Structure 1
Amino acid sequence: MVKQERAARTRQALIRAGAEVFAEEGFVRASLTTISRRAGVSNGALHFHFASKQALTEAIVAEALEGVRQIVRDAGARGGGPLEALVEATHRLLHRIGDDVVVRAGFELSDDPGAGAGPGLRREWQRWVEGVLLQAGEDGWLAEEVSADDAATAVVAATTGFEVLGGTDRTWLSEERVAGFWDLLLPRLTGRGPRRH
């Protein structure tokens, strides 16, 4: 049991160190030696857990993907309708990208063709946003003249922009910036007066 716990801690340390190094240096420039050093383990320990840089990348993206899925599950479970879930999930996602290097690196790696890390996190987010806004339209939450597709385009483009720009300037991920976006967009989507998060 102790050995399994130590192995799980080492694996997590490698995922975190890998995310940090990939975020700083990019996939191509990052070396496994730098990652193992950052994690405080030997190269042998790294190779015990991950056969290659690709395998480590896949683990980082998988953990980030689970983080995104948990955010949207939690937002949907709160009740209050699809638009509230969307606003809540957007705030949580951008906060998490700012605070969690694994999620931040997961977004970068999943859309890096060189990393070949599997399903894109941005695509996963896009699918969820499209689904929520389709539901919002069907349930009468959207103004008559607003199409769910157009709304999804605006939300996905903006949140992707926040995420990318937040990589170099964290103010793009701030609560105020995200709230300002929703203060601008929600009245247009609903055809009602301004609403605050």
Structure 2
Amino acid sequence: MVKQERALRTREALITSAATVFDREGFSVASLTAISSLAGVSNGALHFHFSSKATLADSVEEAAGERLDRIVMAHEGAAGNALQLLVNTSHGLARGLTEDVVLRAGFELSRDQVRGRGPGLYRQWHRWVEEVLKRADGEGVLAEVTPEDAAASVVAATTGFEVLGPQNPEWLSHRTVTRFWQLLLPRLADASVLGTLVAAGSRPEGRP
């Protein structure tokens, strides 16, 4: 049991270290030596857990996907309707991308064409956004737009913030995401609920 726990801690440390190095240097340039050194383990220990840089990157992206799931689940049931849920979760995603290097690296790896894996996390996010907008439509809180068209706009903007954020953190700030929703909600929300929606997120201190 002790050995299993130690192995799990080592694996988690390697994933975090890999995310840090991938985030800083990019997948192509990152070296396994730099990753193992940052994790405080030998190259042999790294290869015990991961056969190659590609499999390590896959594990980082998988861990990022789990973090994205947790962000989504943290907001389920805490909003009055599906549109407010979407607003709150987008704020949570922006904050996660700012604070969590594994989540940030996972998105970066998802768009790395060298790996040739395809946009895994982007697809995961798009699928969830579209599902929530279909729920909003079913609740009668969506204006005369299709969930598919609305999802395309939301995903394009939020993933754009993710791409621009590393160069300028203002793109992932609470203010930027709030202003985005202030612009978009009048187009998305039915007039009967527009006045009840909080573009800044419906939890206190701007931490939806």
Same topology, TM > 0.5: yes
Which residue does 1:126 correspond to in 2?
Answer: 126
Which residue does 1:66 correspond to in 2?
Answer: 66
Deviations 1:119-158 (A, max 9, x none): 6101110011111112211221112x22222211110011
Distance 1:169 1:95 in 2: 14
Which residue does 2:90 correspond to in 1?
Answer: 90
Between the aligned residues of both structures, percent identity stands at 55
Q: Show the 5 A alignment for 1:161-176.
A: 161-176=160-175
Gap runs ≥5 in structure 1: none
State the shift of 1:115 in Å: 2.2
Normalised by the length of structure 1, the TM-score is 0.93
Which residue does 1:158 correspond to in 2?
Answer: 157
State the shift of 1:17 in Å: 0.8
Does the CA contact (< 8 Å) of 1:54 and 1:116 recur in 2?
no
CA-based RMSD of the aligned residues comes to: 1.5
What is the number of residues matched between the two proteins? 196
Distance 2:72 2:33 in 1: 35
Which residue does 2:204 correspond to in 1?
Answer: none
Normalised by the length of structure 2, the TM-score is 0.88
Distance 2:43 2:66 in 1: 27
Whether 1:108 aligns to 2:108 is: yes
Which residue does 1:180 correspond to in 2?
Answer: 179
State the shift of 1:170 in Å: 1.1
Structure 2 SS opposite 1:115? coil
Higher mean C-alpha deviation, range 95-104 or range 178-187: 178-187
Which residue does 1:148 correspond to in 2?
Answer: 147
Gap runs ≥5 in structure 2: 202-208
Higher relative contact order, structure no. (Cα contacts within 8 Å, ≥ 6 residues apart): 2
Distance 2:75 2:182 in 1: 19
Structure 1 SS opposite 2:10? helix
